[in-house]
Chains A and B, each alone.
Chain A
Amino acid sequence: MRRALRTLAARAWALLHRDRLDREFDEELTTHLELLIDEGRRAGLSDEAARREALRKLGQPNSIRERHRDQRGSRALDVLTQDAGYALRMLRKSPAFTAIATLSLALGIGANTALFSLVDSLLLRSLPVRDPDRLVQLRYGAGPAGFKKISPFFSQTQFDYFREHNEAFSELVGFASLDRPLVTIDGATEADPHVDQISNNFFRDLGVTPIAGRAPETSDDAVAILSYRFWQDRFGGRAEVLGRTITIDRQPFVIIGVAPRRFFGVALESDAAIWIANRAPMAQQVIARIKPDVSATQAQAGVQVMLNQLAQEQGERADRVGQAELVPAGKGLSQLRSQYERPLLALTALVVVLLLITCTNIGNLFMVRHAARKRELAVRVALGAHRSRLVLQYLVESVILAAIGGTLGWVFARWGVAILLSMLPLPFVPSALIFNGDWRVVAFAVATSLLSALLFGLMPAWRAGEINLGMLRANEGGGAPRAKRLSGVLIACQVGLSVLLLVGAGLFVQTLRNLSSVDLGFNPDGLLQILMDTRAGGYRQGQVGGVYNQLLTRLTGIPGVHSVTAVRNPLMRGLMSRAHYDIPGVELAPDESWDAAQVSPSFFDTMGIALVSGRTFTDTDATRDQFPVIVSESFVKRYLPGKDPIGVRLGQQQRTEIIGVARDARLSGVRVPSGVFMYNLLEKEPDRINALEVRFSGDPAAVVPAIREEIRQVHPRLLLSVTTMRRHIDDSIAKERMVAATSTFFSVLGLLLASIGVFGVASYAVTRRTNELGIRLALGASRGSVILESLRGTLVMFLVGLAGGIVAAVAAVRMTSALISDLLFGLRATDAANVVAAVALLILVTVLACLLPARRATRIDPLAAIRCE
């Protein structure tokens, strides 16, 4: 081995220094020739004759040079091409092995590359801007404690004030997404491109240089920059696009530049197609670059001071000023990041395990094949092949396998990323996340492939190094005990890793099942939730009730709509209000409160929440001094056990009366357990209404546009969104679905590979011992004992792997339980039933994998078996 490496190194060196070595050899040859000429002269020849004689003795200098060069270097290449050719022939000769190996390897490498690509674009990669590490997003928290809302939006006044007065930032830029802009080019309307309005310094100060045209300057007004993709899709990448006019919401903009290919804006999930700068005031998100010598804390304090000063100047109340917050923005803003960071890392762990299984599996198949090839290899050694050549042979073979697997894996990775992205609850696939041939991803794929090749190639290569002539002996069927042991260890590893994979996947699958089968307490099918903002519509208290009545009439008039109800806060978004009332005969803690919703009378009908007793609200219930409430079953169980809750009066002045009890329902979100809950009747004139629930039948695609149109007619800025409740719930568990689906896929794959491994080793064990088993049968052994005997080794290693896998899995979930517990729902990471299920599944699959070899063991014809050697 060492010698082979040494020769290889010498040759590589020689290849690299070809010219110098050529010159040196020429010199060496000339000296030789002259020494020969001298010899001739001494023998009394003439100069001319001596030269001729010398050349005759030396040989043709050119052909000598040629052969010298060959020996020096290019032979190394010869050897490699020879080995590669041989390896390809070997791979072609065993198509089943090659197919399983390359396919499983491609899936393993593909899965790893796909996840790396996502992890890279979401968690690792910085924005393609100048000094991304020092970029922060400004935000502020406003509202009383407990109801605090974080907002990233600043008014134009605030932004201008920041730019003028700050000392901590070297640059500040602002941007805002336009809401469904109407974009026309040459009179033709474009299909919903995303448009961001930006501050004029956006490109220049972020440090993004347009690949065509220029960035907006402070003096510019009504200019537009196109994204690379939009430029390609809409204008075919033509340069003449610069200077053309594009109309956005009826205002013309001159195209002055095209953004670089990899720049999609600062927000990862919004694909800006067009950026416009027109100096119009906007409610904007602010990105700032902290000066090198300023700390983040100092910068944050600075923003707070500015917020306070500005509020003071404008005469606002001090307690309404928000708390300034700075969030790192160098990797781009992302709504997905915080939610998907852990799921992605959990999946990464699973695919690494999968790749390990793949490598062990291929290593094992290699070993089995190696055992079959041992005699051939021994013959080669006998004929004079160096062991190093055999080792090299295996390495070349595994590198070729890895190269094929890696290439195929690249294709799989592309698909994998597309599939994973389609599972995200996003209206479109963001360019920033799609699979791209980034050099980091390429490097990762290549490194993974080579590492895998090394991992599974070294095992047989190492065995090949131990080939000796003894293996030529006629009856050498038994195989070295070490080979058997190594193969067994590999099986144990595969089984153990499979347990790990199955336990992980089991947790996520169970989580999804628990989430999907949660009893919501209401009927989410045929239900639409409309989010709206009465404040944005400009309605104040006293006007909201009127708007609601208008909407009610309009919406119930739409065909397919059965009933409509108003709620003050949207449902299933964790936005419930809190309520506190004195309850007669109950000692409440001072801060004890419960979730509550303000609903209109038709609420229970529309939602499909059953009343257990009492009655629902009526339109006449809302009076100035009587407040009817409906409570949940859990409320009764908790505070009024064994009593008749109907008619119980609550509150200090006892003006609140329980008129009904409703079934428990999860209205805050799928994950929030239903419990103590109270429904208040929405006042006749509420301060705002933020959601309508609509019970409908038929195709939502027909109903939704009609609803949109009706609301738009009441007020164009009222509507925020219309979604079916089912869709909203599905989206809210999209993360769990993605993790469950992906991990199921990977663990099925892992299980399949492990069973192939067990099958391979078990069949080999039977084949290898056909002779011996035949003798046993002939001597009267029972078929059962023969089966057991033939598979004993495999089973023992299986059990060892199983035990190891259980220990590893339990240790792994224990260690990571803090990390993965918020990915789980309805079970704990250390759930015992889950481990048991994984083990049971693995045993079942293994038994199936052993069935065929076992049957073969019993079918051995004793006579044939004994005769066969």
Chain B
Amino acid sequence: MLMWNFHRSVAGVHSKLDILQGTLDLMVLRTLATLGALHGYGIARRIEHVSGDHVILNQGTIYTSLVRLEQRGWIRSKWGVSENNRRARFYSITRTGEKQLVAETENWERLAAVMGRVLADEGQTR
């Protein structure tokens, strides 16, 4: 899933946000897999909470992620009523989304390990 923005990188538009987006997608999937149906606010709160407020995001960015995931059929949404009695969209993970979560988690761990090794190597030669 991190590869998702390949085309942008080819076009030369590198940015930190891109990587963050990919990571954010993964966090959203994980959250939904753990907690079931949630609205945008709930997801954002949960991510902040679990990360111990290490991930501080503009909560609005979560929606881009949600649209993206929905377009791919990894999550689905339906309207419901929030705890303050307003109409809100509730998102939940799909079967393909769960599979994807497993695959991407592995990917992420591998990448993290590789990154760790590579960075450590850099540190020694310096």
- Which residues of A come within 8 Å of B, CB atoms? 3, 6-7, 10-11, 24-25, 27-32, 34-36, 38, 57-61, 63-64, 67-68, 70-72, 79, 82, 380, 383-386, 389
Contacting pair B73 A6 (CB below 8 A): yes
Contacting pair B3 A383 (CB below 8 A): yes
The 20 sampled A-B contact pairs (Cβ below 8 Å) are A6-B71, A6-B73, A7-B72, A28-B40, A29-B63, A31-B87, A32-B41, A32-B44, A32-B88, A59-B59, A59-B60, A63-B60, A64-B60, A67-B63, A72-B67, A380-B10, A383-B3, A383-B6, A384-B4, A385-B6
Contacting pair B88 A3 (CB below 8 A): no
**A-B pairs with lowest CB-CB distance, top 9:** A384-B3, A59-B58, A64-B60, A59-B60, A384-B6, A35-B41, A10-B71, A71-B67, A31-B86
Contact with A along B49-72 (1 / 0, CB 8 A): 000000000111101100110111
B124 contacts partner chain A, Cβ-Cβ < 8 Å: no
A380 neighbours in B (Cβ, 8 Å)? 6, 10
B11 contacts partner chain A, Cβ-Cβ < 8 Å: yes
Known contacts A31-B84, A384-B3, then 4 further A-B pairs from the complex at CB < 8 Å, ordered by chain A residue: A24-B89, A32-B59, A67-B63, A68-B63
- With A and B bound together, what is the CA distance between A25 and B68 in angstroms? 14
Main secondary structure on chain A at its contact with chain B?
Answer: helix
Contact with A along B77-118 (1 / 0, CB 8 A): 000001110111100000000000000000000000000000
Contacting pair B67 A68 (CB below 8 A): yes
CB of A474 to closest CB in B, whole Å: 22
Contacting pair A11 B71 (CB below 8 A): yes
CB of B24 to closest CB in A, whole Å: 12
CB of B29 to closest CB in A, whole Å: 15
CB of A713 to closest CB in B, whole Å: 85
- Chain B, range 5-23, C-beta contacts under 8 Å to A: 5-7, 9-11
B37 contacts partner chain A, Cβ-Cβ < 8 Å: no
Pick the residue among A31, A67, A71 that contacts B41 (CB under 8 A): A31
B2 contacts partner chain A, Cβ-Cβ < 8 Å: yes
Contacting pair A3 B72 (CB below 8 A): yes
A3 neighbours in B (Cβ, 8 Å)? 72-73
Of all chain B residues, which has the CB nearest A57?
B59
Given contacts A7-B72, A35-B84, contact A68 B40 (CB under 8 A): no
B44 neighbours in A (Cβ, 8 Å)? 32
Pick the residue among B11, B61, B73 that contacts A59 (CB under 8 A): B61
Contacting pair B67 A7 (CB below 8 A): no
Contacting pair A32 B67 (CB below 8 A): no
- Which residues of B come within 8 Å of A, CB atoms? 2-7, 9-11, 39-41, 44, 58-61, 63-64, 67-68, 70-73, 82-84, 86-89
CB of A25 to closest CB in B, whole Å: 7
Pick the residue among A10, A25, A64 that contacts B70 (CB under 8 A): A10
- With A and B bound together, what is the CA distance between A389 and B3 in angstroms? 12
Pick the residue among B60, B67, B71, B72 that contacts A60 (CB under 8 A): B60
A385 neighbours in B (Cβ, 8 Å)? 3, 6-7, 10
Contacting pair A67 B61 (CB below 8 A): yes
Contacting pair B60 A79 (CB below 8 A): no
- With A and B bound together, what is the CA distance between A71 and B24 in angstroms? 15
Pick the residue among A31, A36, A38 that contacts B88 (CB under 8 A): A31
- With A and B bound together, what is the CA distance between A27 and B80 in angstroms? 12
A61 neighbours in B (Cβ, 8 Å)? 60
CB of A178 to closest CB in B, whole Å: 70
B82 neighbours in A (Cβ, 8 Å)? 31, 35
Of all chain A residues, which has the CB nearest B22?
A384
Most chain A CB within 10 A, of B2, B44, B59, B71, is at B71
Given contacts A59-B60, A68-B64, contact A82 B11 (CB under 8 A): yes
- With A and B bound together, what is the CA distance between A383 and B71 in angstroms? 22
- With A and B bound together, what is the CA distance between A10 and B77 in angstroms? 14
B61 neighbours in A (Cβ, 8 Å)? 59, 64, 67
B72 neighbours in A (Cβ, 8 Å)? 3, 6-7
B88 neighbours in A (Cβ, 8 Å)? 28, 31-32
Contacting pair B64 A36 (CB below 8 A): no
Of all chain B residues, which has the CB nearest A6?
B73
- With A and B bound together, what is the CA distance between A38 and B5 in angstroms? 36
- With A and B bound together, what is the CA distance between A389 and B4 in angstroms? 11
Contacting pair B71 A7 (CB below 8 A): yes
A384 neighbours in B (Cβ, 8 Å)? 2-6
CB of B82 to closest CB in A, whole Å: 6
- With A and B bound together, what is the CA distance between A383 and B39 in angstroms? 33
CB of A240 to closest CB in B, whole Å: 61
- With A and B bound together, what is the CA distance between A67 and B63 in angstroms? 9
- With A and B bound together, what is the CA distance between A496 and B83 in angstroms? 72
CB of B64 to closest CB in A, whole Å: 5
Pick the residue among A36, A71, A383 that contacts B68 (CB under 8 A): A71
CB of A727 to closest CB in B, whole Å: 66
- With A and B bound together, what is the CA distance between A741 and B101 in angstroms? 65
Contacting pair B59 A58 (CB below 8 A): yes
B3 neighbours in A (Cβ, 8 Å)? 383-386
A64 neighbours in B (Cβ, 8 Å)? 58, 60-61, 63
Contacting pair B59 A67 (CB below 8 A): no
CB of A36 to closest CB in B, whole Å: 7
- With A and B bound together, what is the CA distance between A72 and B68 in angstroms? 8
- With A and B bound together, what is the CA distance between A64 and B66 in angstroms? 12
A79 neighbours in B (Cβ, 8 Å)? 7
- With A and B bound together, what is the CA distance between A91 and B113 in angstroms? 41
Contacting pair A31 B39 (CB below 8 A): yes
Of all chain B residues, which has the CB nearest A13?
B71
A58 neighbours in B (Cβ, 8 Å)? 58-60
CB of B79 to closest CB in A, whole Å: 8
Contacting pair B86 A30 (CB below 8 A): yes
- With A and B bound together, what is the CA distance between A385 and B59 in angstroms? 29
B41 neighbours in A (Cβ, 8 Å)? 31-32, 35-36
